[in-house]
Amino acid sequence: MNYAVTGATGHLGSRIVNELTSLVDKKEIIALVHTPAKAQNLNEQKIAVRAGDYSDVASMTEALKKVDLLIYVPSKTYDVLQRVEELENTLTAMKNAKVKKIIFVSFFADQENNPFVMAPYYGYVPRRLAGSGLEYTIVKNSLYADPLVPYLPELIERKNIIYPIGEKKLSFISLADSAEAIAHLVVRPDLRDNGQTYLLSQEKNYSMVELSKVMSEVTGKEIGYQPVSLEEFAKIYQGDGDGNELASMYQGGALGLLGDISTDFEKITGHAPTDMETFLRKSY
């Protein structure tokens, strides 16, 4: 079989490709990228690189020729309509190229009452795939733990976590663990292709008081919890270009919509995911 991974030079896509190299023959892996010039490291690994533009059906059709299974990692835009168009273009290209199987990488903030700006997209996808005629699997990631590492110096300076979620809990998974589970699904046909949905998370979720204690132990610095308002949070991170979007996500967290956990990671891989303290100690 031939396996194509979109976003193959991105944070998650590159890890999925790397994980796949230990599970299948490199000749079966196809890295789909927007800018092939940025995929030099994949070329050096003798992994096939193809240009694939979500906005161009013809480009995606060409990129998907002779592909048996597509691992679809969405783009990072917060534009819901653009994300939907990108998916629709890809589904059309899959039909044109006669690709029948897809693993869709999703996010668990997809509830009908979730105010996160991207929740409509993540809610749309499973319904769309259900009527697509494709053999599909949906993998929902919880929050990525990785951004917490570069965030630690700011938290140390503030002496507090400031997420505006009150007493609710958040659930996390590392990029490495997510990639491992997705790659293992690729080689586990018994666990995919029949509309299965998986949630990838650590075994425990965390209130911000609990998370601050873990961070304090890891860094040796006192970090507490002093939430700001949603408006203030959006203002603080407006300069990063996604303040309002992040605030909307944590608004969902304040409703208890970002705390779900599961044992799906262990079901797929055969072992437990990396816990938060171990992850932070290894990464900090």
For 178-218, write each residue's pLDDT tens digit. 999 999 999 999 999 999 999 999 999 999 999 999 999 99
* Stretch 66-75: mean pLDDT: 97
For the chain, the domain total comes to 1
In a domain, 158, yes or no: no
Asked if residue 102 belongs to a domain, the reply is yes
Kindly provide the residue ranges of all beta strands, DSSP E only, lying in 94-200, ordered along the sequence. Answer: 101-107, 135-141, 143-144, 160-161, 169-170, 172-173, 196-200
Q: Is 222 a domain residue? A: no
Domain around 92: 3-142+174-201+260-273
Give the pLDDT confidence of 73-109 residue by residue, as tens digits. Answer: 999 999 999 999 999 999 999 999 999 999 999 999 9
Q: How far are the Cα atoms of 57, 61, 111, 157 from residue 52, in angstroms, in the given order?
A: 9, 8, 30, 42
**Is the residue at 9 inside a domain?**
yes
The answer to whether position 87 is within a domain reads yes
**Residue 122 sits in a domain of what CATH number?**
3.40.50.720
pLDDT classification of 38: cutoffs 50, 70, 90: confident
**How high is the pLDDT of residue 239?**
86
CA 206, chain centre distance (Å): 19
Instruction: Give the C-alpha separation, 250 to 273, whole Å.
Output: 24
Report if residue 55 sits inside a domain. Answer: yes
Enter the pTM of the model: 0.96
Does 148 fall in a domain?
no
Write the pLDDT tens digit of every residue in 153-188.
999 999 999 999 999 999 999 999 999 999 999 999
Q: How far apart are CA 249 and CA 252, in angstroms?
A: 5
Strand, helix or coil for residue 188: coil
In a domain, 160, yes or no: no
Which amino acid makes up residue 215?
A: M
Which of these, 131, 137, 164, 157, lies nearest to 251 by C-alpha position?
164
Identify the pLDDT of residue 241. Answer: 85
